[in-house]
Structure 1
Amino acid sequence: MPVRDATVDDVEDICLLIEEHARYEGKDDLELDRGDMAQYLFGPEPKAWVVIAEVDGVTAGMALCTWTFPSWDARPGVFLDDLFVKPEFRRHGLGRELMAELGKRTSGRVEWDMQEGNDKAEAFYASLGGRPVEGWIKYRWWPEGR
């Protein structure tokens, strides 16, 4: 099961996977702008990157990431914003392969957020050795009142 870097030709599949993930998490109205996504992922100053998992040439899953630089680690890390494997391709090791690929790309840490109550995701991440970060609270701010 190959895992590879996404290319601009994958933008449609990437957007479809993100939209499917949103529906899985209860957000039924997400519709991404394919042009914006292509610019942000593959333009002259990319803001994120994607690793694709394929089965027999079919896009089965992906990990969308950005780089971080935690000052106390003093080494680059990976922030995993979105990990999604289509339901029909689950339980075949694709999520593990995607995570292993992220681990190969950094000497630092890999971090992610997970929606509360997603027991399957929690069990999957725990099986990898992932654990919640005790003592930290996530904050989010949108400038200009968005």
Structure 2
Amino acid sequence: MPVRDATPDDVEDICLLIEEHARYEGKDDLVLDRGDMTKHLFGPEPKAWVVIAEVDGEAGERVTAGMALCAWTFPSWDAKPGVFLDDLFVKPEFRRYGLGRELMAELGRRTSGRVEWDMQMGNAKAEAFYASLGGKPVEGWVKYRWLPDQE
């Protein structure tokens, strides 16, 4: 099952996957700006990157089945670049084919450091999937968020 780097031609599929993921998580009103997404992923100073999972469609064409949207991190105490996985989503009809594992394996191949992500509490399926990969919650740390434009 091929996994490849996204290109600007994939922006529509990337946005559709993120919007579908939002609906799956209960946020029905998310609509992304395709122009902003193109600029932030493929502009002169990209802020993130995407890996696409594809499958063969019924007519032999390649079909986008899932994706991982990531950004580089640099944890100072490790002194190694790492990957922050912001969004991992495989369309429900393509689950149980190993695509999530393939996407995660690709992220692991891209770093000598750590791969980290957040997971919504109460998502038992995601928790079981990540645990099956050897992923563990980070004990003793609390996630904070600051939105300076909203003060």
Query: What is the CA-CA distance between 1:144 and the residue it aligns to?
Result: 2.5
Structure 1 residue 73 corresponds to structure 2 residue 78: yes
Letter in 1 for 2:4: R
Aligned length: 146
Query: Which residue is equivalent to 1:36?
Result: 36
Mapping of 1:45-124 within 5 angstroms? 45-56=45-56, 57-124=62-129
Partner-residue secondary structure (3-state), 2:104? helix
Partner-residue secondary structure (3-state), 1:20? helix
Partner-residue secondary structure (3-state), 1:15? helix
Root-mean-square deviation over aligned CA pairs: 0.6
Letter in 2 for 1:109: R
1:77-103 deviations in whole A, cap 9, x for unaligned?
000000000000000100000000000
1:99-130 deviations in whole A, cap 9, x for unaligned?
00000000000000000000000000000000
1:43-98 deviations in whole A, cap 9, x for unaligned?
00000000000001000000000000000100000000000000000001000000
Partner-residue secondary structure (3-state), 2:105? helix
**Identity over the aligned pairs, expressed in percent?**
88
1:3-62 deviations in whole A, cap 9, x for unaligned?
000000000000000000000000000000000000000000000000000001000000
- What residue ranges of structure 2 are gaps of 5+ in the alignment? 57-61
Q: Equivalents in 2 of 1:9, 1:81: separation in Å? A: 21
Letter in 1 for 2:77: W
Q: Output the TM-score relative to the length of structure 1.
A: 0.99
Partner-residue secondary structure (3-state), 1:81? strand
